[in-house]
Amino acid sequence: MSADNEFRRPTGFRSLISSRAWAELVQQGVRIQYRARENLIAQGAPGGWVLLCLSGRLKVVYSRADGREVLLAIRGPGDVIGEFSGRDGQPRSATVQAIDPVIAYKLPDQRFNTLVQRFQLGTQLNSYLLGKMRESATYAWQLAHRTTAVRLADLLITLIDAAGPDHPCPATIALSQEELATALGLARSAVTPVLAEWKAAGLICVSRGKLHVADVATLERISRPDVSTSGQNGP
């Protein structure tokens, strides 16, 4: 991937700052490639650095000692990963794992903070962090009040949106049914009937370890029941 391709069509924190500032942040980092399903950050590990995501999708997961886990967020190109630990000095609060192959640039916390000050990006960084916190509140509400079908549709649409416009196959998601269920804090038996219904309706195609969304528009309607109640709402 060329530098020009890496910098076009900004999203995430990248969308809040100038091209010059983002380029400087990236140039000060070390380029790292991660394989799909490889951990970028481990929950409980010490901090000390941040990652700037250039390509690929990531999932942020919180785990308990008994092995249970729940998805906290989906990230993608233009996002900053691991910046919370750099602000409070605490261990990593969650695990970040690559969904697709990922390209990221790694910077020490001190260097990242120095650059944020040099380019006067404090306001933008605070806005970005507040946006993440608002996402968490919305997600917690969905966990408590939305049906399985709505939550699953919202997750799939979020994954598609997070891919970024340069992703070759944004509607193809390399997560198994088990991984999708775990991401929502559910048993696989809860999501299997919904996926089967959507597959029969031609909304999705399912293969080993991945899923392809064939009808994005309908899934978007399912994910927004307060806007429209039409479509396959499922259980």
Q: pLDDT in tens for each of the 235 residues of the chain?
A: 333 344 345 689 999 999 899 999 999 999 999 999 999 999 999 989 999 999 999 999 988 888 788 888 999 999 999 987 666 778 898 999 999 999 999 999 999 999 999 999 999 999 999 988 888 777 777 777 789 999 999 999 999 999 977 788 999 999 999 999 988 888 999 999 999 999 999 999 998 889 999 999 999 999 988 764 444 444 4
Q: Which domain holds residue 50?
A: 3-142
Number of domains in the chain: 2
Who's near 111: CB < 8 A, 6+ residues apart?
28
| Residue in 88, 1, 93 with CA at minimum distance from that of residue 53 | 1
What are 159-184's pLDDT values in tens digits? 999 997 778 899 999 999 999 998 88
Give the residue from 97, 116, 142 where a domain finishes.
142
Query: How far is 34 from 38, CA to CA, in rounded Å?
Result: 6
In a domain, 197, yes or no: yes
Quickly list H helices, the chain: 3-7, 19-27, 83-88, 109-118, 122-145, 148-162, 177-183, 188-200, 216-223
Say if residue 78 is in the same domain as residue 182.
Answer: no
Q: What integer best gives the mean pLDDT of the chain? A: 87
Give CA–CA dist 235/156, Å, rounded: 17
- Please tell me the pTM assigned to this model: 0.84
Q: What CATH number should be reported for the domain holding residue 111?
A: 2.60.120.10
Domain membership flag for residue 94: yes
CA angle in degrees (0–180, nearest 5) for 12-141-96: 45
